[in-house]
Amino acid sequence: MITLAACQDLGPETPRDELQENLELWQAMRPARYAYTIERQCFCGVDARGPVRVTVDGETVLSQVYVEDGRLATGPATGWFPSVDGLFAVLRDAIDEGAHEVRVSYDPVSGVPFEFWIDYSEFTADEELGFAVTEAVQPVS
């Protein structure tokens, strides 16, 4: 007697597969212009953590404004608060570079990585980096 097991979708097989699946969700629904608020989780100064409201047109970041006081992010801070596509790039780089640990939660509808934590090196202190989306993506005109 031969027994056949029913096939079922067990979801993505690897973190890279999961990232790609969610990136495709995001690309399918990404508004032409949108804003969202993000906060970095790192062993860094207050200005490097935010929260910052990021406004994006296509794939171009138009503005990054600190929620607490309305200041614009300037200088190096402009690189700390990416578009949603930039979040995917941070995750992809960590996975490709073999980070010790990458924990990520994706929005099941939009694919946006709404919270993640990267420990780049198991034996190095304070090099970890995380992001949390504190205000969901909203289309803007």
Which tens digits make up the pLDDT trace of 1-55? 444 444 445 556 899 999 999 999 999 999 999 999 999 987 788 888 999 999 9
Q: What is the pLDDT of residues 87-140, one digit of tens each?
A: 999 999 999 999 999 999 999 999 999 999 998 887 777 667 899 999 999 999
The number of folded domains in the chain is 1
CA atoms within 13 A on the CB side of 62: 11
Q: Is residue 54 part of a domain?
A: yes
- Give the range of the structural domain holding residue 108, as residue numbers without chain letter: 34-139
85 vs 95: CA distance, rounded Å: 15
In a 3-state reduction of DSSP, which class is residue 63?
strand
pTM recorded for the entire structure: 0.86
Q: Is residue 10 part of a domain?
A: no
Q: Give pLDDT, residue 59.
A: 87
Q: Give pLDDT, residue 7.
A: 46
